[in-house]
Amino acid sequence: MSILVSKETRLIVQGLGKTGRFHADRSIAYGTNVVAAVHPSRAGKTEIFEGDIDESGVPDRAGTYRVEVPIFRTVEAAVAASQANATVVFVPPAGAADAIMEAAAASVPLIVAITEGVPVADMVEAKRYLGDKPVRLVGPNCPGVITPQECRIGIMPGYIHQSGRIGVISRSGTLTYEAVYQLTRLGLGQTTAVGIGGDPVNGTNFVDVLEMFNDDPATEGVIMIGEIGGTAEEDAAVFVAEQMRKPVAGFIAGTTAPPGRRMGHAGAIISGGKGTAAAKIDAMHDAGIALAPTPSDMGSAMLEALG
Amino acid sequence: MKIHEYQAKQLLAARGIPTPRGLVATTKTEAENAARTLIAETGNPVVVVKSQIHAGGRGKGRFAEHPDLKGVNVVLAGRDGGPEAAVAEVGALAEKMIGSTLVTIQTGESGKEVNRLYVEQGLDIARELYLAVLLDRSVGRNIVMASTEGGMDIEAVAQESPDKILREEVDPAIGLAMFQANSLGWELGLEGDIHAKFVAFVTRLVEIATELDADLVEINPLVITGEGEVFALDGKMSFDDNALYRHPEVAEMRDESEEDPAELEAKETGLSYIKLDGSIGCMVNGAGLAMSTMDIIKHFGGEPANFLDVGGGANAEQVAAAIRIITADPNVKGIFVNIFGGIMKCDTIAAGIIDGINEVGLSVPMVVRLEGTNVEIGKQMLDESGLNLTTAIDMKDGAQKIVALAR
């Protein structure tokens, strides 16, 4: 088992520019079922993907692949033709929020937005538009979602992952890779790894993913990786203390970050005395989360917490 | 992006927010002329001389060179001495303030040099309120914050008497509803004509924040004058960098003299760099990994000299620029390169590091931690490059090695 994505995932790619095309190709090589693309200026054409498979991906496949992906003008048309149940957004920042809303209007249940640099006000509007619609947005500004050896949506390197027992949630891309690779080398592996993104306004938060991992029978423990800014980690700590039935290990980046400076991610900023690493670490510690003293210790902290 | 008070007031005034009349000055003469003009135009002999820097707390701040001089000064000399007495005092103040270093609670001990003054008409202040529009991340929307405690440090108010902070959430599809604006005004104790003026003020302020993609608009204080007018006595605005492309008028207000030159150079090369006070330079891919690289250096007893995210690429050009920027800091005694090559292969990154060093040279020890596809080839390339590098097996190993080498 896993959460969010699996062998049943049928993926649309919104935005077949250089990055979108490259990562669509990497996902197909991994064994992900990419069924359609949306790119208005090339609608009606077909994009051909071919090459050697990524052997770390879905097992028991031939050594090479060749996939023809039909391109559509709208998400609605792509879904109608392909019965897609997930989409990945690579649309550039100025149009990304609109692409997210378009996917929601077409009732795509899972929308993963990779785009970095989306204006906050656009996300405020998109978040309101998504409202109570039966869709889930992950991101933007995130590495994506992967269930090892089943489905890769996003930009993460496939080979560091291994199917296994631990769920991973993170606001940071490269720190997710760090945690995932440690789990792989310790033989724990991952059920699903979810990058929720580094922006101040995003779709899915720690608590949403913790709930899913809590209910996923294959997930035996969870690593959550937070960073300075906002109070999402504090909220997650409350959930862990009150409802989590599985051990949680964690790490917070930004102990040494100076206040008032935006540390790369738009969301990673200590402002008004809020969002400090110390406050997050205290809240997580009080909730019984096993904190890794350094990012090199995330895997071993998980191993210890599993008992 | 931050802008100065006078720029914020220009943007607000042009959009219908009442602001005091004021003029910018960069020299003593300009300040004197500004005072003369303002007094003639408004008939009020009282003027205020305000330092323009990108930091708050100016009113309570003091100049390093003139410990008795505040960052904001009210000139009352014109009341008894006539306009020329006010002009003379403004000139004397300007002479001391321009080119001096203002230290406030937000600038840090080193302070900031004042290059510009804003000379403003004095107002007859009856009440001071606090008003701001800002993003509330927990709800993913803008909120309006207001308080009767105007002119104070609002964070202290929030800490000590949270009940004195009023909040209204802004629905992005509706804006601030009339009933919300009304109840804010009443809860601030405003009635009648002044209440109506406040409602118009706050409604417009929310519209402006949205229109300009401001992530903060803070009016502290908002004043009610003795004549019953509502004014933005101070104005602070900052903007979402990701949305500046649609506001050229705002983007042009960037004051590069307020920014660190190394940070500007980094931005131009596509690097995200923030200078800190330590001795170990960091070059990392990814913001989260870059932050936690600083943390792990500190964990093992070192002090990071910077935050530096090279992004997903790390080509020779960027690595060269990063090394140049890091080593330009005289405090740097060693560099830790920590790259988790996601999609980018490690041999490509190693080539970037080697080319980059060959281009700009390397005068301090460097520890390189590489992980990712083709990591063995990458490490071999570094080992055989003949460069004075130390490789690390993981982040912890690398952090310990660079802390030892930089001692």
What is the C-alpha separation between B5 and B11, in angstroms, rounded?
10
**Architecture of the structural domain at A162-306:** 3-Layer(aba) Sandwich (3.40)
Nearest-Cα distance to chain B for A162, in Å, is 15
Q: Give me the residue spans of the domains in chain A.
A: 10-138, 162-306
The per-residue pLDDT for range B351-375, each reduced to its tens digit, is 888 888 888 888 899 999 998 878 8
Hey, is the C-beta of B277 within 8 angstroms of any chain A C-beta? no
Which of B214, B325, B371, B275 shows the shortest CA–CA distance to A263? B275
Residue A111 has pLDDT above 70, yes or no: yes
| Residue carrying structure tokens 């060693």 | B334
Chain A partners within 8 Å of B53 (Cβ): none
The per-residue pLDDT for range B317-361, each reduced to its tens digit, is 788 888 889 988 999 999 999 998 776 778 888 888 888 888 888
Superfamily of domain B125-251, CATH level 4:
ATP-grasp fold, B domain (3.30.470.20)
Hey, is the C-beta of A86 within 8 angstroms of any chain B C-beta? no
The Cβ of residue A242 has, within 10 Å, a number of other Cβ atoms equal to: 8
Q: Residue B313: which pLDDT band, with cuts at 50, 70 and 90?
A: low
Which CATH fold topology does A10-138 show? Rossmann fold (3.40.50)
- For an interface test with A, the pick among B143, B271, B295 (most A C-beta atoms closer than 10 Å) comes out as B295
Hey, is the C-beta of A255 within 8 angstroms of any chain B C-beta? yes
Can you give the three-state secondary structure of chain B, one letter per residue?
CECCHHHHHHHHHHCCCCCCCEEEECCHHHHHHHHHHHHHHHCCCCEEEEECCCCCCCCCCEECCCCCCECEEEECHHHHHCHHHHHHHHHHHHHHHCCCEEECCCCCCCCEECCCEEEEECCCEEEEEEEEEEEECCCCEEEEEEECCCCCCHHHHHHHCHHHEEEEECECCCECCHHHHHHHHHHCCCCHHHHHHHHHHHHHHHHHHHHCCEEEEEEEEEEEECCCCEEECCCEEEECHHHHHHCHHHHCCCCHHHCCHHHHHHHHCCCEEEECCCCEEEEECCHHHHHHHHHHHHHCCCCECEEEECCCCCCHHHHHHHHHHHHCCCCCCEEEEEEEECCCCHHHHHHHHHHHHHHHCCCCCEEEEEEECCHHHHHHHHHHCCCCEEEECCHHHHHHHHHHHCC
Q: The tokens of A257 are what?
A: 């970050």
The per-residue pLDDT for range A129-183, each reduced to its tens digit, is 999 999 999 999 999 999 999 999 999 999 999 999 999 999 998 999 999 999 9
**pLDDT score, position A273:** 66
The arithmetic mean of pLDDT across residues A235-239, rounded, is 96
- What is the CATH number that goes with domain B261-406? 3.40.50.261
The per-residue pLDDT for range B68-124, each reduced to its tens digit, is 999 999 999 999 999 999 999 999 999 999 999 999 988 878 889 999 999 999 999
The per-residue pLDDT for range B59-69, each reduced to its tens digit, is 889 999 999 99
Chain A partners within 8 Å of B343 (Cβ): 22-23, 26, 155, 157
Phi, psi of B253 (to 5 degrees): -80, -5
What is the C-alpha separation between B76 and A73, in angstroms, rounded?
68
How large is the angle between the packed helices B395-405 and B287-299, nearest 10 degrees?
50
Higher pLDDT, residue B321 or B30: B30
Hey, is the C-beta of B145 within 8 angstroms of any chain A C-beta? no
Q: Residue B314: which pLDDT band, with cuts at 50, 70 and 90?
A: low
Q: Give me the residue spans of the domains in chain B.
A: 21-121, 125-251, 261-406
**pLDDT score, position B357:** 87
- Chain centroid to CA A33: how far? 17
The arithmetic mean of pLDDT across residues B136-155, rounded, is 89
| Cβ-defined contact of B372 to A297 (cutoff 8 Å) | no
| Cβ-defined contact of A231 to B140 (cutoff 8 Å) | no
| Cβ-defined contact of A119 to B242 (cutoff 8 Å) | yes
The arithmetic mean of pLDDT across residues B203-219, rounded, is 96
Nearest-Cα distance to chain B for A149, in Å, is 17
Q: Residue A307: which pLDDT band, with cuts at 50, 70 and 90?
A: confident
What is the C-alpha separation between A300 and A260, in angstroms, rounded?
33
What is the C-alpha separation between B97 and B27, in angstroms, rounded?
10
Please report the number of interchain residue pairs, chain A to chain B, with beta-carbon separation below 8 angstroms: 171
Average pLDDT of chain A to the nearest whole number = 95
| Cβ-defined contact of B140 to A261 (cutoff 8 Å) | no
Nearest-Cα distance to chain B for A31, in Å, is 17
Chain A partners within 8 Å of B173 (Cβ): 125, 128
CATH match of B21-121 with 3.40.50.720: no
**pLDDT score, position B312:** 66
DSSP letter (8 states) at residue A274? B
What is the C-alpha separation between A71 and B209, in angstroms, rounded?
38
Q: What is the ipTM of this complex?
A: 0.90
**pLDDT score, position A263:** 80
Hey, is the C-beta of B302 within 8 angstroms of any chain A C-beta? no
- Do the domains at A10-138 and A162-306 have one common CATH topology? yes
Residue A214 has pLDDT above 90, yes or no: yes
| Cβ-defined contact of B242 to A181 (cutoff 8 Å) | no
- Percent of chain B past pLDDT 70, that is, above it, reads 99
pTM over 0.95: no
Report helix, strand or coil for A139: coil
How large is the angle between the packed helices B346-360 and B316-327, nearest 10 degrees?
50
